[in-house]
């Protein structure tokens, strides 16, 4: 296991100093899965669910992008990034909402936390907007699918 990047030589938490790095294009893709029970799936009309609060998936997409842009306000030591691109998509696969968040930036630091935050908040928004239909909704996982740029690239097998 490598050295933790957010701990200094005195073992105190610290923000990573990226001043010596060269800016490069970096991308990250994160995914959250929301398992929807039958009571929720029965409300699906095409690729959307309308509630009194509005269109669930369209609202979750907006929330995911907003969250990705504010990651540095939510996660300690994340650098503020001016994202070049953030795209959130939601697909229904069987009884699951598959939420993908893809972020891109040209910067000295990666964009994984922005993608993970975007996918997570989109999933939480789906839960919030549908909880009146069922509390059996489960956010089953959130994971990094891939990242490029920086020290090393990463791609999850499945």
Total residues found in the chain within this entry: 158
The conformation of residue 14, written as its DSSP 8-state character, comes to -
The contacts of residue 114 (CB under 8 Å, 6+ apart) are 28, 68, 69, 71, 78, 81, 83, 86, 101, 103, 105
The conformation of residue 60, written as its DSSP 8-state character, comes to H
Angle between helices 56-69 and 112-130 (to 10 degrees): 150
Choose the catalytic residue: 84, 128, 136, 153: 128
Is 128 annotated in the active site?
A: yes
Query: What DSSP string describes 71-138?
Result: HHHHSTTPPP---SEEEEEEEEETTEEEEEEEEEEEESS--HHHHHHHHHHHHHHHHHHHTTT-S--E
Active site residues per annotation: 128
């Amino acid at each position: 296991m490598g050295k933790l990047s957010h701990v200094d030589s005195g073992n105190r938490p610290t923000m990573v100093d990226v001043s010596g790095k060269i800016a490069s294009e970096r991308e990250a893709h994160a995914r959250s899965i929301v398992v929807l029970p039958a009571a929720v799936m029965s409300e699906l009309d095409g690729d959307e669910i309308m509630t009194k609060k509005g269109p669930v998936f369209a609202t979750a997409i907006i929330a995911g992008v907003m969250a990705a842009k504010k990651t540095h306000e939510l996660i300690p030591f994340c650098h503020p990034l001016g994202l070049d691109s953030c795209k959130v998509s939601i697909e229904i696969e069987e009884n699951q909402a598959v939420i993908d968040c893809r972020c891109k930036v040209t910067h000295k630091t990666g964009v994984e936390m922005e993608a993970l935050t975007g996918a997570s908040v989109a999933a939480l928004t789906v839960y919030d907007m549908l909880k009146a239909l069922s509390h059996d909704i489960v956010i089953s996982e959130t994971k990094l699918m891939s990242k490029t740029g920086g020290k090393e690239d990463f791609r999850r097998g499945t």
